[in-house]
Every structure is written in C-alpha cells, then in structure tokens.
Amino acid sequence: MKNSFQIYLVEDEQNLGEVIEAYMKKEGWEVTHFTDGKVASEHIESPPHLWILDIMLPGMDGYQLLKAIKAKADTPVIFISARDKDLDRVLGLELGSDDYLAKPFLPEELVIRSKKLLQRIYSQEQQEVESIELNGYKVDPKGRTVIDGNEAIELTTKELDLVILLTSNIGKALSREEIIEYVWGSDYFGSERAVDDVVRRVRKKLPRIHLETLYGFGYRVLTS
C-alpha cells in the first residue's frame, strides 16, 4: 500500500507543473500545485510532507519562500531550477534545502528523489526510535525535534538528520560515507565536505553535545 503523502509543488510553468503533478498522483500522493510564490507562502502554517520549489517564481522567489518555510517548520524541500545549477545548488543547501534537480529533468527522476527523501525522513523505523536524552538535550526522532529545557532548537533537515543518526549510535564511529548515506541518500555525488559543514553548524547550535572528529574517517558522539 502506498503512503499518502501531501506535496506542495510551486512551479509557475503550468504544463510542467501539471506533468509533475500527474506523476506524483500515480504514487498515491496528494499534490497541491501553486504557480505563485506569494500565494504558496500563505500555506506555510499548514505544512505538507514535502515542498518542491522552483527558484524563479512570481510574487516571491524560491529562496525567499525556502527561508519562510524553514522559519516555521523543518519540512523537507527539493529545489528545481533551470538557472546556474552549481550556484543554485550551493545557495539552496546553505539555506536548508534537502535536494536539487536541474531542468530539464525526467519527471520520473523527481519522483524517485522525492520518494527516497520521504522514506528517509518519515520511515516507520525512525518513528519507532525512543527519544534520547544527552547532556540536557532531548532528541525526539519521532517528533523530529531537539529540546533544550523547554525550548525547541531550530535545526535544518540535514542538521536534524545528523543529530538523530549520531545520538542514536552514541559511542559508535560513523564514517563520512555512512553519514552521507543516511543524511543525503545513496544518490548524492557531492563533496564529503558537506558533512563537515553540517557538523560545524550542529556544534554551534548544540554546544553541549560532544561530537568527536575522527580524522580521515568520520565522527561519533560521546556521552561526556
């Protein structure tokens, strides 16, 4: 039985949007198609399971919309764009997007990437993991939150995935390859430096977590 995920697609090319919508509905997903970034932003308060954003949009561009989305909820986002793919990929990842697909692309590839991202984030196995308490932080994989006292810490999707992975394996050395597989997925072909960048941000946001660097290999979390 297919999962009925809710997808918000923000694409101002009507024909392309309709094609993507048709392919995703074949997966049993509910798709809401917006052609204006400003109109889409009015629905941030009722987040879907996944946003798919074009970058060049009327009303509000994809970068602005991504910032607004991440300010409200840690909802996964995939960028699609026909512009300079290297520049857009870097900027999108820095702002918290989870994947990037350059136009033109096959709708099937977007469906596959979306499916992998949804499965990784909303997998039943992850939801069944009990919350972890470490140095005053409470990591809740099911609720996808990190709490410090009574305050929720704002983390991007990848920062949160990294924290969940490492705190679920306290004391275990995890290679950069293992981290990439969990956080980015098996189809990631970028630099391993992306792992170090996410680790750096997590250390800044969660300073009491002892995240040890294993030079030339990877990372692990220690209890003290």
% of the chain exceeding 70 in pLDDT: 87
Distance CA 154, CA 207 (A): 14
Is the pLDDT at 25 greater than 80? The verdict is yes
Expressed as residue numbers, the domain containing 205 is: 125-222
Residue at 145 is within a domain:
yes
Angle formed at CA 56 by CA 115 and CA 195, multiple of 5 degrees: 50
Is the pLDDT at 11 greater than 80? The verdict is yes
| Greatest CA separation for the chain | 55
CATH number of 117's domain: 3.40.50.2300
The last residue of one of the domains, among 122, 145, 173, is 122
Is the pLDDT at 196 greater than 80? The verdict is yes
Residue at 100 is within a domain:
yes
The last residue of one of the domains, among 76, 95, 122, is 122
User: What's the pLDDT score for residue 208?
Assistant: 95
Same domain, 32 and 57: yes
Same domain, 115 and 135: no
The last residue of one of the domains, among 92, 122, 152, is 122
Mean pLDDT comparison of 71-75, 116-120, 171-175, highest-scoring range: 171-175
Distance CA 183, CA 175 (A): 12
CATH number of 191's domain: 1.10.10.10
Query: How many domains does the chain contain in total?
Result: 2
User: What's the pLDDT score for residue 85?
Assistant: 58
pLDDT in tens, 148-181: 988 999 998 899 999 999 998 888 889 888 898 8
Same domain, 129 and 117: no
User: What's the pLDDT score for residue 125?
Assistant: 47
Same domain, 135 and 89: no
Same domain, 140 and 91: no
Which residue has tokens 């997007």? 97
* Residue burial 21-31, b: 16+ Cβ < 10 Å; e: rest: bebbeebebeb
Same domain, 161 and 215: yes
User: What's the pLDDT score for residue 1?
Assistant: 37
Same domain, 74 and 168: no
Query: Which tokens belong to 8?
Result: 């918000």
Q: Which helix (H) or strand (E) holds 90?
A: helix 85-95
- Closest to 6 measured CA to CA, from 43, 60, 42, 55: 43
Q: Rounded mean pLDDT of 36-43?
A: 93
Of the listed ranges 64-73, 118-127, 133-142, the least confidently predicted one is 118-127
Same domain, 92 and 182: no
The better pLDDT of the pair 124, 22 is held by: 22
Same domain, 183 and 198: yes
Same domain, 83 and 144: no
Is the pLDDT at 216 greater than 60? The verdict is yes
Residue at 1 is within a domain:
no
Residue at 153 is within a domain:
yes
3-state secondary structure of 7: strand
Residue at 19 is within a domain:
yes
Same domain, 117 and 137: no
Same domain, 95 and 10: yes
Is the pLDDT at 118 greater than 50? The verdict is yes
pTM over 0.85: no
User: What's the pLDDT score for residue 178?
Assistant: 87
